[in-house]
Structure 1
Amino acid sequence: MVLWGKFKDLEKTKSFPKTVVESLPFIRGSTIIVAYANYYPHFKRHSNGSISGFYADVLKAAQTYLGVHFEYIPSVDGHWGSLLENGSYNGMVGMVERREVDMALPEISYTYDRSSISDYPFALNKERQQILVQNTFTQNSLDLWTYMDPYSWWFWYTTLAMMTLATTLAHLFQWVEKQGPGSEWMQDLIYVMIGIGITTMPKCTSSRIFFFWCALLGYVFVASYTSVLSASLIVKRFQVPYADLSDLANQDMDFSFLIRDGSAAHTFYRKAQAGTIANKLWKRSKLFKSVNEGIQEVMNSRDIVMQAAVGDFQYLEEYPCEVYAMPWNAMTDLAGLILQKNSPYTQTFKELFLLLEQSGQLDHLRIKWKLSVIKRVEECDKDDRSLGFSKCVTAFLVVPLGVVLALVMVVIEKITMLYRTTKSLNARQQSKWP
């Protein structure tokens, strides 16, 4: 194998740790039984019996240089392993505890409870877990209030109040004009108040200043409204609903917190002390068996929150527009493979993995299988930056509504005019009778 060629040279030059070299005659030719769960890209066993993923490459290295063979058995119940009420474990951790297998993988979180029944030879990765929620931005959603977004509601309330005030002043001005002689002082007062100095200032300086100010203010409003509206229509925005795990636990709303059944997180939340953040979330918890099942629940309800490992984010590639990952870690664990408690293989694998780490080969594999990249599905791969009907539906509704109202007004005017004409003709005809 070319990938591990450099380790052959290390073995020839006695660069392997002494413990590994001394243990080679003992373990060479041994068959190590491995409990596994498919968790790509960490590990996957295909239908033809071949394996792939980060842990597969690590085991291939061990097979080559330690001369061991591996036999794979799937997890008895599909779980990684959580602590049960009777003190035993289910899943792959339980299989190791009962000594049904020698080893279990992949990405088994190293916890204090598990350390009492298994050996941790070496932490191969950091397992980050984040919170997944339904993406409240949906590409095809209809929002009739989109055109109100550029300004706050207080701005619209103020604008409506100013329009009402201006209309009232206009009616007041017309009423004053109709008062006839003796009301000139009232007319002059209103002229000065609204800045139209027709009688008091023939040059209309105040009128020009007033209308110039109104035009400038209107231009600023229109420009700002247009720019903000364009941004709100074209650029996708997402408001992060929870600042951290504490903020999530203290929410007043009713929601379900999804935790993977049989995981280390399952045990952590279940054993949390009363009153703690973890205990508050446990009271809202709901278990899911497969990541795909959990994501489907998150997609279907805004009241579902899910904790998932970053390694599970591969499933989100199928739903880039429907699910959002919080930009903070809910939990970070050291993870790797585990062996039976006091296993004769523990020290050998520990020093072999340490050698792979120091030589940079584990980092090479993390990059190869993209384990060092924190994948967050924040951008919608299907995001269309063009303005579709769904985003401009308000404009399409306002125009026909205006046309309909205009037609209604025309009909009313015609009916009113016809009624007045008929009434006038009837009055004339009646006046002609002797």
Structure 2
Amino acid sequence: MTPKGYTSKILLDVFENLDESYSNFHGRRLTYTANSNHPFILFETMSDGELLPTAGFEFSIVKALAGALNFTTRLIAPADGKWGGPLPNGTVVGMIGVVARREAHFAFCEISVTGIREEVIDFTYPHYIESLTLLSRAPMEKNRTFAAFAPFTPLTWLLIAISLLLIGPIIRAESWLVQVYFPVADNARNTSDALFNLFRSLVKQENLMENESSPQKITILFWYIFCFIISVLYSGMLTATLIKPSYEKPINGLTDLPTSVKEGFTLVVTGDTSMEYMFKEAKTGIYADTWKLFNHKDRSKSFVPYSIDSFDKIVKDKLVVINGQLTSRYHGAKLGSSQFYLARDTFAPQYYGAPVYPGSPFLPIFNKMLSYMTEGGLITKWVENEFRQVSTRNNIIQESGPRAFTVIHLQAAFYVLPIGFVISSIAFAMEVISLYLKSS
């Protein structure tokens, strides 16, 4: 009682404390949805049709939540197998649709937090952050057909050929001049004889030319020096070139994709996901340019239900798969890391959260528990545990150090020899025809 009248005091909270109410579900069963997507979550289909989760760091998160909040779980998969989201016609597909229609309480499966998805569902705090990257086959050795010519550039070979063609006429001209001014000198040389013998200098460091005059000796001396430099450099560079493997240029980022597509690679991404949407909606810039590189004539080639299903086809079918770093690293290591190449550049950071239906009363407690797990390093530990279980039996240990030359390295020599036989046969046939014409 106060001078102004009676007052009352409310002793009970008007609004329910959700943290306290949902800190214990008292054994209630919650349904969640996911696609089988290791290392995030992996499940098996039992004989009765039930889904049994068996591995994945997000499955560890679900188990931790269930244990801490005292609830049991039932796993269902979206009928269309998609990650999904709202479509222009108003329908919501994939895991996002399952949660939005309240067919499941929440979802866990590498689901990126995006604005368009938040129009139909709510997200927990992000529990894992990573960027997208490119996974392709390991760079293969370049074609070694003409490795024997690799030590010099085409221009260098051209200058050597010109020098060789000029030295014969020069020696012939010197020989003629000496004969004109010194008729007693016995050093006449025709052009073909001089060219042949000086070519021997280039390949064997010797020739059969004798009784040269002083001008010729000086010319041949400097020709020897020229041949010595060319021969030594060629031998050293050829050995270094053949011992050290030469590989294709690796695919390290989006800027490398135009060249890769021209070389026969196919760009692959999981269809109907935020990754496809990101490229599709880009109007300008590198993402818009990348969108044009996908195979739009046959969408099944570039937009697949699960991009991880394409990992074992990367080597054979020349694919470049766009996916998160974690998934790419995991499956690349599982199938044999020596066969795959993970791009150095990353792009488009992804924030993974758990979708819950709009207005879910347990969202605050889920956020609190996920914060505890993230800050305590538990999620990082669970991710590392998944990698420890990856089999690396398929990895091939690359040899180091010098290695023996093979036919692949020296095949140019075996091509040059039959080409010479063909040319000599043509020359022989022409001489026979010439003699026949003269005799007739």
Contact (CA 8 Å) 1:83, 1:89: kept in 2 or not?
yes
Q: 2:37 aligns with which of 36, 39, 44?
A: 39
Q: CA deviation at 1:137?
A: 1.6
State the Cα distance separating 1:312 from its structure 2 match. 3.5
Cα pair 2:251 2:260 within 8 Å, conserved: no
Q: 1:258·1:306 contact (CA, 8 Å) conserved in 2?
A: yes
Alignment-derived partner of residue 156 in structure 1: 157
Taking the aligned partners of 1:271 and 1:58, their CA distance within structure 2 comes to 33
Matched, 1:348 2:365: yes
Q: Taking every aligned residue pair, what percent have the same amino acid on both sides?
A: 15
Aligned to 1:336: 353
Q: Is the 8 A contact 2:84 2:95 kept in 1?
A: yes
**Are residues 1:28 and 2:43 paired?**
no
Partner AA of 2:78 in structure 1: S
Which of 264, 268, 271 pairs up with 1:261?
271
| TM-score, normalising length: structure 1 | 0.71
Q: Distance in 1 between matches of 2:215 and 2:424?
A: 43
Residue of structure 2 equivalent to 1:287: 303
Aligned residues of 1:291 and 1:312 also touching (Cα < 8 A): no
**Using a 3 Å threshold, how does the CA distance of structure 1 residues 76 and 389 change in structure 2: closer, same or farther?**
same
Matches within 5 A, 1:383-422: 383=398, 386-387=403-404, 389=406, 391-394=408-411, 397-398=414-415, 401=418
Residue deviations 1:247-267, cap 9 Å, x none? Answer: 646999597543211211122
Offset at residue 101 of structure 1 (A): 0.8
CA distance in 2, matches of 1:354, 1:210: 79
1:109 is paired with a residue whose SS is coil
Tell me which of 370, 383, 398 is aligned to 1:366.
383
Deviation, 1:80, is 1.1
Q: Secondary structure of the residue that 1:88 maps to in structure 2?
A: coil
Q: Distance in 2 between matches of 1:390 and 1:38?
A: 47
CA contact (8 A) 1:260 1:288 kept: yes
Letter in 1 for 2:56: G
Q: CA offsets, 1:141-187, max 9 Å, x none?
A: 86412222333222222222222222332343444456575699x99
**Residue ranges of structure 2 left out of the alignment (5+ in a row):** 1-16, 47-51, 189-197, 199-209, 295-301
Is contact 2:113-2:352 (8 Å) kept? yes
Separation in 1, partners of 2:159, 2:313: 43
Kept after mapping to 1: 8 A contact 2:139/2:250: no
User: In structure 2, what is the Cα distance between the partners aligned to 1:112 and 1:167?
Assistant: 78
Change (3 A) 1:236 1:38: farther
Q: Is the 8 A contact 1:20 1:351 kept in 2?
A: no
- Write the distance in 2 (CA, Å) between the matches of 1:283 and 1:107: 26
Tell me how far apart the structure 2 counterparts of residues 276 and 178 of structure 1 sit (CA, whole Å): 74
Matches within 5 A, 1:33-432: 33-47=31-45, 49-133=52-136, 137=140, 143-176=144-177, 179=180, 181=182, 211-212=224-225, 214-231=227-244, 235-240=245-250, 244-245=253-254, 248=257, 253=262, 257-273=267-283, 275-285=284-294, 286-292=302-308, 294-295=310-311, 299=315, 305-313=320-328, 314-316=330-332, 317-318=334-335, 323-370=340-387, 381=396, 383=398, 386-387=403-404, 389=406, 391-394=408-411, 397-398=414-415, 401=418
Shift of 1:298: 5.1
Distance 1:266 1:158, change over 3 A: same
How much has 1:34 moved relative to structure 2? 0.7
Question: Aligned partners of 1:292 and 1:276: how far apart in 2?
Answer: 27
Cα distance in 1 for residues equivalent to 2:255 and 2:415? 44
Secondary structure (helix, strand or coil) at the match of 1:94 reads: helix
Aligned length: 376
